[in-house]
Amino acid sequence: MKENPKHIHISEYNYPLPDERIAKFPLPVRDQSKLLVYRHGEVTEDTFTSLPEYLPKGSLMIFNNTKVIQARLHFRKETGALIEVFCLEPIQPNDYVLNFQQTEHAAWLCMIGNLKKWKDGTLKREMTVKGFPITLTATRGECKGTSHWVDFAWNNPEVTFADILEVFGELPIPPYLNRNTEESDKETYQTVYSKIKGSVAAPTAGLHFTPRVLEALQEKGIDLEELTLHVGAGTFKPVKSEEIEGHEMHTEYISVNRNTIKKLIDHDGCAIAVGTTSVRTLESLYHIGVTLADHPDATEQKLHVRQWQPYEKYDQIPPVVALQKILGYLDRNGLEALHTSTQIIIAPGYQYKIVKAMVTNFHQPQSTLLLLVSAFLKGNWRTIYDYALSHDFRFLSYGDSSLLIP
């Protein structure tokens, strides 16, 4: 590592983003968005449907198949105060799938809107789910940082927590859109390949893909694989500290099937990542492999990738070897998939191991995602953003796309 990224000043990653450049809604046809193509320092533009033409035949493209949940719940107190409870991650049980299957009780770590009006007591909401009248209650537990433990209970064993969110929850669109969620967002704020419920924000680079683009990629001979990273609300958390050392990355849960690991090994540990969430997962795999090289009997908890772990001094191993270590771990433990978590921060000074090209949208000024892009382009992010700003590109979640090949 040439430099210590902890001392990067976030103010160096600022640019002017007028509100009118933020796409408030997606285009009517998602694959008609503009595509900025950055190849070896050269910038051109095209339409997203042309993406397959820019990718080498036989390459491996990896998507994040997480599905955004309707994570915002609204309760009205007897006083009339409206309280918003935003489910961030499951606590009891702490597995997403098991939690969604719970009947009668589930606990989540939540952000609470209008917290000062909810000092104590239980919130209640009457509703009808699957034809059953039920009462949902929410009881606030201990505070954990800026979030709270919240116990949910309901009085019908026929109804799961997933059913409740489906009927009663609201899709959490990004705060910077400055508008309420609309019915259309239920479809447009999900990728066409979303499957595994658990995100509170969409992996938005994937929003441009349509069945015809996916088909064209396969016709080009590109291997398509999926992994899961559940995107947390922390993805929108601005960097408030002057140096990025003061910014705490949120923990995100990842799941990668053995078949995807094998495909990565077959492709010499090289992949094209769709979105920064796939980037964070793929690069985390390398560091998990490094941990397993040193501690073959490590537990799932020990495989968690700490925020600054990639910048600590350790002997480098080739990406394929790191991936083989994960395959060995899965074999020894009779597992079909790797389940763990990551807090990785990718900032200038980081050496990419697996990701050789990425498809991504245009990110907020002074965000950790802009740091990730800058690290990928060896600091040359301004070239792209200046081009996008002067060529009428639309920004952020519902905005246009870019293909970056350093």
Written as tens digits, the pLDDT of the chain (406 aa) is: 446 799 999 999 999 999 999 999 999 999 999 999 999 999 999 999 999 999 999 999 999 999 999 999 999 998 899 999 999 999 999 899 999 999 999 999 999 999 999 988 899 999 999 999 999 999 999 998 889 999 999 999 999 999 999 999 999 999 889 999 999 999 999 999 999 999 999 999 999 999 999 999 999 999 999 999 999 877 777 899 999 999 999 889 999 999 999 999 999 999 999 999 999 999 999 999 999 999 999 988 899 999 999 999 777 899 999 999 999 999 999 999 999 999 999 999 999 999 999 999 999 999 999 999 999 999 999 999 999 999 999 999 999 999 999 9
Number of domains comprising the chain:
2
Q: State if pTM tops 0.85.
A: yes
What gap in Å lies between CA 290 and CA 36, rounded to an integer?
A: 34
- 136, 170, 204: which is the final residue of a domain? 170
- In this structure, the answer to whether residues 307 and 192 fall within a common structural domain is yes
CA angle 230, 220, 352 (to 5 degrees): 45
- In this structure, the answer to whether residues 379 and 314 fall within a common structural domain is yes
Specify if 175 maps to a domain.
Answer: no
What is the distance of C-alpha 371 from the center of its chain? Answer: 15
Residue whose pair of structure tokens reads 């680079």 in the numeric block: 205
Q: Which residues constitute the domain of residue 314?
A: 5-67+187-404
Assigned token pair, 159: 């109804």
- In this structure, the answer to whether residues 191 and 101 fall within a common structural domain is no
Specify if 295 maps to a domain.
Answer: yes
What gap in Å lies between CA 393 and CA 36, rounded to an integer?
A: 9
Give the CATH number of the domain where residue 31 resides.
Answer: 3.40.1780.10
**3-state SS, residue 357:** strand
Specify if 147 maps to a domain.
Answer: yes
The residues with which 89 forms a beta bridge, in sequence order, are 109
